[in-house]
Amino acid sequence: MQSIHRLDLLRTSIEAWRDGGETIALVPTMGALHEGHLTLVREARTKADRVVVSIFVNPTQFGPNEDLDAYPRTMEADAKLLEAEGVDALWAPDAGTMYPDGFSTSIAVDGVSADFCGASRPGHFAGVATVVCKLFNQVQPDIALFGEKDWQQLAVIRRMARDLDLTLPDADSIHGVPTVREADGLALSSRNRYLDETARRQAAALPAAMREAIGKIEGGTPVADALAELEATLLEGGFTRVDYAALADAASLQRIDALPDRPARLLVAAHIQGTRLIDNMPVGPRR
Ligand SMILES: Nc1ncnc2c1ncn2[C@@H]1O[C@H](COP(=O)(O)OP(=O)(O)OP(=O)(O)O)[C@@H](O)[C@H]1O
Ligand SMILES: CC(C)(CO)[C@@H](O)C(=O)[O-]
Ligand code: BAL
């Protein structure tokens, strides 16, 4: 595996692969890799000849009081994991490469960005869209893979790619991978490592309460009641704040208060022991 830190060297590798007629998959990450990331990598290997994984802790997607400084940085261990997975290139640019002096551009994706994490983390999705657009331009992949754990992020990136002609409109080139979970149901996340043993055990209440709420909604309980019970369960179970717990149209991310015929999603962000966890699950049609 090549570890690449300079854009000109990345371009040289990309051009050589292209000249050889090979296809390229990109897996963007912020490092601190776990089985969720490695699942994306394994799927990427089945979809393209070459796999590039980027690791960049992107400052512009963190708010002023968020965990940019504390975010785990484990580059050496990450590189070993990626090497073992047969990744072709680790693209690890520094902040100066991504944001050269005078950097003045930002991509705002309206609509899908507005609610949920967009509301509780102002500026977050502009930071994500801008850095992902740059990564796409740098790597020029045939396919890019993202986790469904960050459901709204996936919707924002799909919208941006379609709006800015970054991919062909009908191709599955922004590929979503189902959330990988621990045995107790908690979605794998780099931020889980902030939790002590007690908070980690309590955190499993999040997916459990979500499954319970989905059962109620699918069984006919009014959505508002099921969501209020979900929030109360979390606050009784060790969570200190719920940023949102909502039912939304799975594609447009518009809030809905009753089950539609189209696919819907239950989305939650909640804080435990100072750590903000997010999760989402599909909600089926009313029984
Ligand atoms: N449990 C998971 N299952 C599937 N994909 C995941 C999972 N966790 C992260 N990913 C995906 O990996 C990619 C990189 O995510 P990132 O590096 O931010 O890791 P993370 O674990 O989501 O970290 P964070 O704690 O910042 O949420 C994203 O596309 C993300 O959706
Ligand atoms: C897509 C991403 C790598 C952009 O920094 C990040 O938001 C993430 O890891 O999900
Ligand atoms: N996986 C999403 C990155 C973030 O929370 O900033």
pLDDT digits (tens, 9 = 90+) for 76-111: 999 999 999 999 999 999 999 999 999 999 999 999
Helix axes 223-236, 205-218, angle to 10 degrees: 160
Write out pLDDT tens, residues 247-265: 999 999 999 999 878 889 9
Of residues 189, 178, 177, 137, the one with CA closest to residue 160: 137
- Mutation test residue for ligand 2: of 29, 54, 73, 124, the one with most atoms within 8 Å of CB: 29
Tokens representing 271?
């804080």
Pairing of strands 264-272, 241-249: antiparallel
Active site residue 124: no
**Nearest bound ligand to CA 177?**
1
Q: What is the pTM of this model?
A: 0.97
Ligand 2 mean position, distance from CA 223 (Å): 31
Tokens representing 41?
């990598």
User: Tell me, what's the ipTM?
Assistant: 0.98
- Point out the ligand 1 atom lying closest to the alpha carbon of residue 150: 31
Tokens representing 9?
């060297």
Q: Is the pLDDT of residue 287 over 60?
A: no
At residue 279 the predicted structure's pLDDT band, cuts being 50, 70 and 90, is very high
Write out pLDDT tens, residues 210-221: 999 999 999 999
At residue 286 the predicted structure's pLDDT band, cuts being 50, 70 and 90, is low
Helix axes 151-163, 124-139, angle to 10 degrees: 60
Residue partners of 118: CB distance under 8 A and separation at least 6: 124, 125, 152
